[in-house]
Amino acid sequence: FATDISKLSRIVTLGEVFVTNKDAANKSKDVKAKPNSSDSTLVMEAVAKTYRYLDAAEIAEKRKAESEKAKSLKKGK
């Protein structure tokens, strides 16, 4: 999973990663719960945050919007 994430064209951070036995995950979110040995399925929970670079057109658009906002604030004074 993490290898596939690293191949994405954007920055991805993984945090709050918990890997538990399927039975333990169903019974409790506590990672210290004792797993049932009858099922070897693992469950992974994580928070993934993605970031991407703005392309040149997006940067120009953002700067234009900021410039227009600054001009309107100056007119209001």
- The pLDDT tens digits for 19-58 are 998 876 666 555 555 555 566 889 989 998 999 888 899 9
Q: Name the residue range of residue 67's domain.
A: 2-76
- Name, in order, each residue with C-beta under 8 angstroms of 10's C-beta and a sequence gap of 6 or more: 50, 51, 52, 53
pTM over 0.75: no
- Binning pLDDT at 50, 70 and 90, where does residue 7 land? confident
Q: Could you tell me what percentage of the chain is helix, strand and coil, using 3-state DSSP and rounding each to the nearest 5?
A: 40, 25, 30
Report which of residues 74 and 15 the model is more confident about. 15
Predicted confidence at residue 38, as pLDDT, reads 66
Number of domains in the chain: 1
16 SS3 class: strand
